[in-house]
């Protein structure tokens, strides 16, 4: 597949995998995917497995991401993890504003924007998640919701930072439900987000930003989704927990 932007496929392991299980998975991925150069491959284990997974992927084509981080750099924030702590394990990416955090931890666009700035200050690339609920889609509010989330959670990012930011479009109704957005729905949302970036920044910047699709991505739908002109990769939850399904998603996307 020939695209102007390099595909980026990330596995969001969520709250799964002990250290031993994480190592099994990542060692399997290393074996299956060692020849892949066309796609940026990222795994996002829970914090507790970052150290060991980081060592396991040294000298491989797999990069490390975290699932969240604090907006603060240091101090009395019990239970939080700072960007500089992630950097110690060679983390390169950090997922911010996943819909589960927006829902369960009540994360706001404002907070996500502050985290994104803190990530860039530490040279971590944020993967910023946006997406509408089923009610919002059915009420015809998809673009309005996406516009609010994109404007709010990217607030304050410079052009240079924007180009190093990844957006994940994840319709909430497609996450973990087995319901995937149709390729047309995905492409339409991605094209809308890119046009919004062109308005907020400029055309050249918008063309460079990678926009991942997330929500029940599996080996059987990866190829069609990735072939859409504005879909530049995937953020994979459930199907990233097994060597076979995640490596097939990567291979089917090439």
Question: Could you tell me the end-to-end alpha-carbon distance of the chain, in angstroms, rounded to an integer?
Answer: 6
Nearer to ligand PGA, 100 or 136 (CB): 100
The Cα 8–Cα 110 span in angstroms is: 26
State residue 229 phi and psi, 5-degree precision.
-60, -30
As measured in angstroms, the least distance from the Cβ of 24 to ligand PGA is 20
Assess 216 for contact with ligand PGA (CB under 6 A).
yes
Assess 176 for contact with ligand PGA (CB under 6 A).
yes
- Catalytic residue, chosen from 71, 132, 136, 170, is 170
Longest dimension (CA), the chain: 48
72 is catalytic: no
Assess 214 for contact with ligand PGA (CB under 6 A).
yes
As measured in angstroms, the least distance from the Cβ of 21 to ligand PGA is 17
The Cα 250–Cα 183 span in angstroms is: 17
As measured in angstroms, the least distance from the Cβ of 139 to ligand PGA is 22
> Using CB atoms, what's the residue nearest to ligand PGA?
237
Q: CB of 210 within 8 A of CB of 232? A: yes
For ligand PGA, what does the binding mask look like between residues 151 and 170, x meaning CB under 6 A? Answer: -------------------x
Assess 12 for contact with ligand PGA (CB under 6 A).
yes
The Cα 23–Cα 18 span in angstroms is: 9
Find the helix or strand (DSSP H, E) in which 236 lies. strand 233-236
The Cα 254–Cα 248 span in angstroms is: 10
**Residue 114 has which token pair?**
């502050």
Out of 43, 162, 235, 249, point to the residue binding ligand PGA (CB under 6 A): 235
- Binding-site size for ligand PGA (CB under 6 A) equals 13
98 is catalytic: yes
As measured in angstroms, the least distance from the Cβ of 14 to ligand PGA is 7
Nearer to ligand PGA, 171 or 206 (CB): 171
Tell me the C-alpha to C-alpha distance, in Å, between residue 13 and each of 43, 93, 213: 8, 14, 16
Q: CB of 181 within 8 A of CB of 174? A: yes
Nearer to ligand PGA, 13 or 201 (CB): 13
Residues engaged in binding ligand PGA (CB under 6 A) = 12, 170, 175-176, 214-217, 235-239
Active site residues: 98, 170
């Amino acid at each position: 597949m020939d695209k102007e932007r390099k595909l980026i496929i990330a596995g969001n392991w969520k709250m799964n995998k002990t250290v031993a299980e994480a190592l099994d998975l990542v060692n399997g991925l290393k074996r299956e995917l060692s020849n892949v150069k066309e796609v940026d491959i990222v795994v996002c284990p829970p914090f507790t497995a970052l150290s060991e997974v980081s060592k396991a992927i040294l000298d491989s084509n797999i990069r490390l991401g975290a699932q969240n981080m604090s907006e603060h750099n240091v101090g009395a924030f019990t239970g939080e993890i700072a960007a500089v702590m992630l950097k110690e394990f060679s983390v390169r990416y950090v997922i911010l504003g996943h819909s589960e955090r927006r829902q369960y931890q009540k994360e706001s666009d404002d907070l996500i924007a502050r985290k994104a700035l803190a990530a860039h200050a530490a040279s971590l690339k944020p993967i910023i998640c946006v997406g509408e609920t089923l009610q919002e889609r059915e009420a015809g509010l998809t673009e309005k919701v996406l516009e609010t989330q994109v404007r709010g959670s990217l607030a304050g990012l410079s052009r240079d930072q924007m180009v190093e930011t990844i957006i994940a479009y994840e319709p909430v109704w497609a996450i973990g439900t087995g319901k995937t957005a149709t390729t047309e729905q995905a492409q339409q949302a991605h094209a809308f987000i890119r046009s919004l970036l062109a308005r907020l920044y400029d055309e050249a910047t918008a063309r460079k930003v990678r926009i991942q699709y997330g929500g029940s991505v599996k080996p059987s739908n990866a190829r069609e989704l990735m072939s859409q002109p504005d879909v530049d990769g995937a953020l994979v939850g459930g199907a990233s927990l097994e060597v076979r399904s995640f490596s097939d998603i990567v291979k089917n996307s090439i």
